Structure 1
Amino acid sequence: MNEMLKVQSHHLERGAYLYIRQSSMRQVMENVESTKRQYNLRGRAIGLGWRDDQVVVIDSDQGESGASASWREGFQHLVSDVGMGRAGIVMGLEVSRLARNNADWHRLLEICALADTLILDEDGVYDPANFNDRLLLGLKGTMSEAELHVIKARLRGGILNKARRGEYRCPLPTGFIYDDVGDVALDPDAQIREMITHFFETFSRVGSATQTVKTFSREGLLFPSRLRNGKQVVFQPLTTSTAMRMLHNPRYAGVYAYGQRHYRRTADGKKQLRKRDPKDWLACIPDAHPGYISWEQFQHNLKVLEANGQGYQTARASPPREGAALLQGRVICGRCGSHMSARYAARRGQVDTWYVCHRAYASRGERHCQSIAGWPVDEAVGELIAAEMTPAAVELTLEIRKEIEARHDEVDQLRLRAVERAQIDADLAQRRFMLVDPGNRLVADTLEREWNDKLRMLADVREEREKALREDRLALNDAIRDRLVAMTENFKTVWCDPTLPNRERKRLLAYLVEDVTLLKFQAEGETRIHIRFRGGRTETLTTQNPKSSAQQVKTRPEVVELVDKLLDDHICAEIADILNVRGIRPGGAARRGKADAQFTDLRVIYLVKQYGLQPRYDRLRERGMLTKAEACAKLDITDCTLVRWAKYGIVKRHAYNGYIGLYELPESNVPAKQCSRWNQLVHRAEAIRLLNAQNA
């Protein structure tokens, strides 16, 4: 009777909303009675006065948890219709069906109170606008949320108790299975085990997850991957994400680990993942089951990955890469002690290497600590490494050959496993085809087609293995043998081989050198290189710093000195020819890409003016040379006579600017009779020359 008093006419004019929910699909399939009880609430609404066509059933949230409303579309639709005044009553079997979260529940109560909407459960009808009903509904919501917490805590406690003992069964990664008694064991498939072992050995050799993936791709190896059903294993190309996941999984080290990550629900209902520190793991049991690597090797792999993933501003010894910087990741600043980074600059048609210490600039905005040209340093360190390695080249050659042969044998063994697996699949398809009834052509044709596909796959795998064997044998017999012989005779030949990848040089350097400290002396124009070898031995080298741009275009001092000396006896054009014959080139010619540039008279004149050299004219005047006018006045002759005397060597003419020159008289005082005698000799010589010309 009390329920009928709460239901008013304006409530009956609106719809009756029936909300149905089960927490999981398993409950939907197994707890059918609960579902029937929820649907039976339709009769309660009809009994209170609503027509059958006014009852709106919302059951789209079947199999959804009531812990939050963010992922329940049906509940959001219900709240929306209540807020728009379409619902006269909201029905649910119990409060927990509507919400197990106080925030969602009280929001619904507030909206129902504002919209004058009733709430019905199995116990009765409530008016959220009434204080007593509102209080009772709030208590029911609190108890529903507490019930969910108790259920979760009970289940969680049981899981944690088993996990701490290492008995909680978690999905196993590829390479592990549960045996008949429930213990973790290595996969019985030999191909899977050998492929995973080869993966960890390759990572230990190359020191990078990306390089490991490239190595598998280059060798043509497919990596096993377990499907989501946990039973079937497929072979597919190795990816970087798979490699990183394996390297971070402690299961491969034989460690039972639980609680490595912490999940939280965000406001929009999504899961938020946060990794825990290893010391905060809920369970960590070493040697819990067989593994592929040791716990120490697993921790070392994590350190390598951490060093590889650090930013360029962080001090690190990064894995070898393709760049030309030989000391990449191993250079330490001699002033501040920070690691220096490698930089590349394209200049003059080539890529130059620089080692830069920019920690002060990045953190405090100050000037770079040091910036050192890398090619002189790399050349000096490379020569030292070549000299150090040559005495031990024979022993190293044998070790390298053994390693290459072992690596080829290991890869071939993995390819052989793939052939065996393809053979097993082909045999299985053959047995299926042979067992089928020949009269049942529909099934027989399908099995025959499957058998043919398996045979083609077997032929392809065998062909790939034979091709790889030929390539490996050719590489080992020809190219590798030549390099090993060259290494035995002279390791420097192999080190300077342009076909040797830079990554291999850096990898070899990493086995010998711990770090290299650089200290630049600007005034002396040199760089000190302090090399610390593995084992503690040190070595110090000194290299000359490359010239700056201004220094490169500047003429060398010895050239300027030579020009100054040649000015005593030669004009600028003659000096240019002398310099060109001696193979001397102008300053900066190579830098401007003009290695064949030569000196000209204008270049020599520029040097004379630029470096303040004494002009040839002044030098001749200091030696007492006279101009044409002065010489004519001194000898009391005409200009033409002076020219003829110079032509026949009576007086000496010294050029200082092309055809313009100064004259050197034979004596300080020349008598008039002597001048007349000279003129007679000149006239006689000219007459003889003309007569000879006519006779000819």
Structure 2
Amino acid sequence: MNGQSKITRLHRERTALVYVRQSTIAQVREHAESTARQYDLAQAAINLGRPPQRIAVIDADLGLSGRSAARRGGFQEIVTRVRLGEVGAILGLEASRLARSSADFARLLEIARLSGTLLIDEDGVYDLADINDRLLLGLKGQMSEAELHLLKARLDGAKRAAAARGDLRLRLPIGYDSDGEVVLDPDSEVAAAVEDVFTSFAATGSAYAVVSAFADRRFPYRVHGGPFDGELRWGRLTHDRVLSILANPAYAGAYAYGRRPSGQRLEPDGSVHTTTGTRPREQWPVLIPDHHPGYITWEQYEANETKRAANRTRWGARPPREGSALVQGIITCGSCGSPMRTRYPRAKHHRVQYFCGTSHDAHRPQTPTCRTLPAQPVDHAVATLLLATLTPAEVALTLATVDEVTHRTHRSTRAAELAVERARYQAERAFSQVEPENRLVARTLETRWEARLAALAEAEQALAELRAHQPELPERAALEQLISDIDVLWHAPTTTDRDRKRLLRTLIADVTVLPEPDREQIRLGVRWRTGATDTLVTPTHPPRPEPAAVQLIREHGTVLPDAELVDLLNSRGVTTARGKPFTIASMRWTRQNHHLPAPSAPRPDEITVSQAAQILGINPSAVYRWITRGQLPARHTPVGRQCVPWNTTTEAACHSLIAASTQIKARPSHITSGGAV
């Protein structure tokens, strides 16, 4: 070994570190000879005069790349011990294996120079205090880094070339298997689970709804890496996995490479971390449609991408949610321009509200006309406008517009088709005029033919672009069926709040709360998808509709007895405000609370039993007993009330009954007699 004379007594008194490293676990497993040679450097240190107790082997970095020192604990330990002056020499097969990064290698060399530490490899002993040794090690470090770059460039080039042909083997997502070519997983349970993810998303349009659909169902996944690599396991379907499945073009039968590029990020503490980003589809280096069988078509994949983009609320999207607020996400404050938010009640007796978003923004104060509104009148006004717009006259106008658009589309397409036919005819005619025998004429005609071919290509491209940008128009029968049933569909109990919001947003683009000085009114601006606008004015607190129980009591309470009225309420399925069946007591409370008319009142010449008892100064039970025995005439009303015809003769007869009775004791009367009360 060259340069042994550089080893002094001071170096021998310090610890010698033997650094052992392999870049990958595969190298550790397959290149055992290289690992053994590195461990044998401990014997080389003994041969250089160091006792075994002053030799330490650092092998914590086995299986780690030398591109960065961020995760290499062994390298960091060497730097720390060299900085403390504990190390006399560092041994390795090659000095450049200490670090593949010039920055890390130069930092170690500078610390070794200041602490008087030697670097020893198979080529010799390097003293960092010697400028020649420093130059040589610096050159080796640069060559090592360049070698790593060249190797990486060759590998990346080969990978890109294979990927461009679709031959680069990538990790297959769950639901696929490889037997020389990419095929659907033969396990029917695995394939059915993947298919159900796309079916559920197509039905609901929400990744969270897909997770809910799999709440009581397991979902497959494969283990990547380790001793169980490739093993099929089952677990819970998470929201992140649903998003990754929907975003993966492999499920649409496409081969894609370069979707998620990796890069390096410098942290504030100086450490470097590898990060993975996402490229937009137009920047993917390789995209090969119809590469293998897919679970969905490419059109369905693009439709799913559109739905996912419409669900990204972080980027300003306002998808229909499950709440009852109808215009949630599309309502805007017309005073300050901020989106209005929705506040759902915590208590049942509270109401849903729309409030201006600037109330939570310290940088954008509210204007004097910013408001907090109850959601019910706003939603009712917008829904009424929507359903009223779809009248027979409007439907006929819409269908006529559809017919006109269809005819206009057909005319424009037909014109482009005729242009293509004309260009093709002219190109064929120019070709037929070329005669190879006459070269001079052929050159001119060939130039004319090429011009005709260029015109034909332009016409065909124009026709293709026209067809691509034309919207797909629905059939007239489908429109008629949909519009005729819109009112039934809107009020159907099976129609959810989210379905109503989707239906609303197909026609209405947004709703704006316009400034209104009268706080008892709400002024709304509705913008339709066609660009047309409407202005609505609705009261802030509209009168509440009369409950069904109040309506029944108002209609039948004056002719039916209380018991029969209670039976009628319960038979109609009407309940109290707390959801309980009606009783006589709750029915009478409802009647009193809403000031409903009582059962039939006495006639002008009649009084009630209670009034008669009060006039006579006796207990009402005595009057009822006289009526039951036929001693006192009375009229029995349909609701069970007893009305007594009252005059001086009747009053005298009652006093005679009182005088003849030994059980009735008259009390002083506080009502003057002499007629009906």
Q: TM-score, normalised by structure 2?
A: 0.59
User: Match for 1:208: what amino acid?
Assistant: S
Distance 1:506 1:215, change over 3 A: farther
Cα contact 1:22–1:97 (8 A) shared by 2? no
SS at match of 2:277: strand
Distance 1:31 1:236, change over 3 A: closer
Cα contact 1:257–1:283 (8 A) shared by 2? yes
SS at match of 1:67: coil
Mapped pair 1:32 → 2:32: yes
User: Match for 2:97: what amino acid?
Assistant: R
SS at match of 1:56: strand
Equivalence for 1:244: 243
Taking the aligned partners of 1:158 and 1:207, their CA distance within structure 2 comes to 40
Equivalence for 2:257: 258
Distance 1:8 1:282, change over 3 A: same
Equivalence for 2:73: 73
Q: Deviations over 1:481-519 (max 9, x none)?
A: xxxxxx999839945x6x975345434544564444543
Q: CA deviation at 1:122?
A: 0.6
Equivalence for 1:58: 58
Mapped pair 1:300 → 2:303: yes
Taking the aligned partners of 1:62 and 1:285, their CA distance within structure 2 comes to 39
Report the structure, 1 or 2, having the larger helix content: 1
Equivalence for 2:172: 172
Q: Deviations over 1:85-136 (max 9, x none)?
A: 2222111111232221111211111111111111111111111011111111
Distance 1:294 1:31, change over 3 A: same
Cα contact 1:171–1:230 (8 A) shared by 2? no
Q: CA deviation at 1:48?
A: 2.6
Mapped pair 1:123 → 2:123: yes
User: Match for 1:45: what amino acid?
Assistant: A
Equivalence for 1:310: 313
Q: CA deviation at 1:163?
A: 1.5
Q: Structure 2: where are the runs of 5+ without partners?
A: 393-483, 543-591, 596-677
Taking the aligned partners of 1:512 and 1:348, their CA distance within structure 2 comes to 32
Equivalence for 1:208: 206
SS at match of 1:298: helix
The number of residue pairs the alignment matches comes to 448
CA RMSD of aligned residues (A): 3.7
Distance 1:176 1:533, change over 3 A: farther
User: Match for 1:222: what amino acid?
Assistant: R
Cα contact 2:369–2:517 (8 A) shared by 1? no
Equivalence for 2:501: 506
Q: CA deviation at 1:277?
A: 2.7
SS at match of 1:275: coil
User: Match for 1:546: what amino acid?
Assistant: H
Cα contact 1:42–1:55 (8 A) shared by 2? yes
User: Match for 2:163: what amino acid?
Assistant: A
1:546 to 541, 549, 561: 541
1:226 to 215, 222, 231: 222
Distance 1:489 1:149, change over 3 A: closer
Taking the aligned partners of 1:524 and 1:78, their CA distance within structure 2 comes to 75
Cα contact 2:342–2:352 (8 A) shared by 1? no
1:522 to 517, 522, 527: 517
Taking the aligned partners of 1:111 and 1:361, their CA distance within structure 2 comes to 53
Q: CA deviation at 1:319?
A: 2.4
Equivalence for 1:378: 379
Distance 1:347 1:64, change over 3 A: closer
Q: Deviations over 1:530-564 (max 9, x none)?
A: 556667887664322339xxxxxxxxxxxxxxxxx
Taking the aligned partners of 1:29 and 1:54, their CA distance within structure 2 comes to 29
What are the within-5 Å matches in structure 2 for residues 575-586 of structure 1?
none
Q: Structure 1: where are the runs of 5+ without partners?
A: 392-486, 548-594, 599-696
Cα contact 2:2–2:123 (8 A) shared by 1? no
Taking the aligned partners of 1:5 and 1:107, their CA distance within structure 2 comes to 25
What are the within-5 Å matches in structure 2 for residues 42-441 of structure 1?
42-178=42-178, 180=179, 182-217=180-215, 220-228=216-224, 231-266=230-265, 267-311=270-314, 315-322=316-323, 324-332=324-332, 339-344=339-344, 349-354=349-354, 356=356, 358=358, 364-365=364-365, 367=367, 370-371=370-371, 372-383=373-384
Identity fraction in percent: 42
User: Match for 1:32: what amino acid?
Assistant: A
Equivalence for 1:8: 8
User: Match for 2:18: what amino acid?
Assistant: L
Q: CA deviation at 1:304?
A: 2.5
Cα contact 1:207–1:304 (8 A) shared by 2? yes
Taking the aligned partners of 1:173 and 1:536, their CA distance within structure 2 comes to 44
Q: CA deviation at 1:170?
A: 0.7
Q: Deviations over 1:385-435 (max 9, x none)?
A: 5668899xxxxxxxxxxxxxxxxxxxxxxxxxxxxxxxxxxxxxxxxxxxx
Taking the aligned partners of 2:27 and 2:490, their CA distance within structure 1 comes to 75
Taking the aligned partners of 2:39 and 2:217, their CA distance within structure 1 comes to 58
Cα contact 1:359–1:368 (8 A) shared by 2? no
Cα contact 1:316–1:339 (8 A) shared by 2? no
Q: Deviations over 1:613-664 (max 9, x none)?
A: xxxxxxxxxxxxxxxxxxxxxxxxxxxxxxxxxxxxxxxxxxxxxxxxxxxx
Cα contact 1:208–1:319 (8 A) shared by 2? no
Q: Deviations over 1:456-488 (max 9, x none)?
A: xxxxxxxxxxxxxxxxxxxxxxxxxxxxxxx99
Q: CA deviation at 1:76?
A: 1.7
Taking the aligned partners of 1:390 and 1:26, their CA distance within structure 2 comes to 73
SS at match of 2:299: helix
Taking the aligned partners of 1:378 and 1:94, their CA distance within structure 2 comes to 76
User: Match for 2:184: what amino acid?
Assistant: L
SS at match of 1:289: coil
